[in-house]
Amino acid sequence: MASRMSASTKPRTSASQSKSGKATTNHNVIRKWTESRGGHPATVKGTAARGKAGLLRIDFPGYSGKKTLKEISWDEFFDKFDESDLAFVYQDKTATGKPSRFCKLVSRDNVKSRPRG
């Protein structure tokens, strides 16, 4: 299964941090986390409209996104990210202490509305 980020309306974390992960809207944090794991911003092929990115993903080398994803620039990614009012939910390390590639996009409203855990 591919380790890619997808837009979702069901967050798994509070506005800042929970047992399973963190959430942020900070572009620098998102870019640094992604690039440190070899990932890059992408859009699902066939979902773009009027020259803008469609459904957003983070793609990592060696996963199944090659045929379904198109790499995009960070500027395109963050334009769509902000326009869609998304937050980035991510995990720094796995339970065994290794760098995690878990991440997904969620609605900012849903992240803000969750109680802090």
Summarised one tens digit per residue, pLDDT across range 74-96 is 999 999 999 999 999 999 999 99
Domain-embedded: residue 65: yes
Q: What is the pLDDT of residue 48?
A: 78
Domain-embedded: residue 117: no
Tokens of 111: 């992240």
Question: From CA 108, how far away is CA 74, in angstroms rounded?
Answer: 19
Residue 4 has pLDDT above 80, yes or no: no
Please give the tally of structural domains in the chain: 1
Domain-embedded: residue 66: yes
| Residue 88 backbone phi and psi in degrees, to 5 | -105, 115
The strand pair at 7-8 and 103-107 is best described as parallel
Domain-embedded: residue 74: yes
Question: From CA 105, how far away is CA 81, in angstroms rounded?
Answer: 9
Domain-embedded: residue 106: yes
User: Which range of residues forms the domain containing residue 93?
Assistant: 7-111
